Amino acid sequence: MYAMKILILCTGNSCRSQMAEGFLKSFDNSLQVFSAGTNPAQKVNPCTIRVMSELGIDLTGNHPKNADEFTSMEFDYVSWTLDALRVKLEQSTLDTPYYFSTPARHQIVVDYLELMDEILSRESQVNVIYANPEIKDPTAASSDQRIALEHLYAIQRKLAPLAEAVLQEQISTTLASLGLTTGGQPIPPVLFHITHLPYDLVISPRNKIQQDATISLVPDLSVTQQTRLETSVDSGMNVSSLVVPVGGIGSYPTMVMRTTDLHWLSDTIAHEWTHNWLSLRPLGMNYETTPELRTMNETTASMHVSFSVGGFTHVTGANE
């Protein structure tokens, strides 16, 4: 059972919102209560600290926080899903893969993977610059790389929908050949979207090994932003926090990590489609019932369908 999270917003975060945070925390220590302001003051009003102290609530360690610390970096799953569905709808309307020959479709995927290789390489170089304490102005030092990345991102936005449509069509065809379709069509349709995966902000108490909360963050956080967020949360909430990468997200369309490995990519698409397929059947519906059923689900997705579909798709795509 998840603890309720409450964020109290005001303008200055120096008086009433601080009092509300203190009162709510004193009422129920299982609540995760935070307060912030849209235009935070320099410090908590001394009168607020004195009055709350008289009521037995200590606010001496509190300070005004900006609302952006809690809202602007949080990943928006709804917007991501709607945007991914929009892209998929455009793809299905145009029936894109069938306009290209088999060699052309193969080349589209190859071009996309080569483009992704260059993007990941340049992003890594930018991260190294920002992580180097000897570089005083990482923004200026990484200017050329960031300009190059903007150009590559523009190309990616045009090429990615084509590459995704080609892989969706090929995996759907393979599923049909394996008898895993209804009327020749996979149900649900094979839909995936290659994307930056969000980060997780993991929050724990300082005095014990325990995960109290996990907040999904936007994916394009620099090392500096991650460090600043951790420091702000730690000092503002008296906790220990850490921003960590995420391996994958269960969603529909499937959220797939960026990669240059065609075999891994096709295997992952097939693996996640299998979970969606099983979710319409008793085995998938009972995924959370027992550890044994979870193992059966994962084994089915990993060793049977994804191996057969992903491996076959990789081989045929490489040789055609």
Q: Where in the chain are the domains?
A: 1-72, 77-196+249-319
pLDDT band at 317 (very low <50, low <70, confident <90, very high): very low
Average pLDDT over residues 283-302: 83
What's the pLDDT at 2?
A: 40
What's the pLDDT at 318?
A: 42
What's the pLDDT at 150?
A: 94
pLDDT band at 319 (very low <50, low <70, confident <90, very high): very low
What's the pLDDT at 320?
A: 43
| 246-276 burial: b if 16+ Cβ within 10 Å, else e | beebebbbbbbbbebebeebbbbbbbbbbbb
What's the pLDDT at 45?
A: 93
Q: Please indicate, yes or no, whether the overall pTM of this predicted structure exceeds 0.85.
A: no
The answer to whether residues 64 and 17 touch, using CB atoms and an 8 Å cutoff, is no
pLDDT at 204 over 70: yes
pLDDT band at 1 (very low <50, low <70, confident <90, very high): very low
Q: State the chain's maximal CA–CA distance in angstroms.
A: 78
Task: Give the mean pLDDT of the chain.
Answer: 82
The C-alpha atoms of residue 16 and residue 34 are separated, in whole angstroms, by 13
Give the HSE-up count for residue 115: Cα atoms under 13 Å, Cβ half-sphere: 20
| 58-91 burial: b if 16+ Cβ within 10 Å, else e | ebeebbbbbbebbeebebeeeebeeebeebbeeb
Percent of the chain predicted with pLDDT > 90: 20
Name the most confidently modeled range: 83-92, 245-254, 307-316.
83-92
CATH architecture of 1-72: 3-Layer(aba) Sandwich (3.40)
Give the HSE-up count for residue 246: Cα atoms under 13 Å, Cβ half-sphere: 22
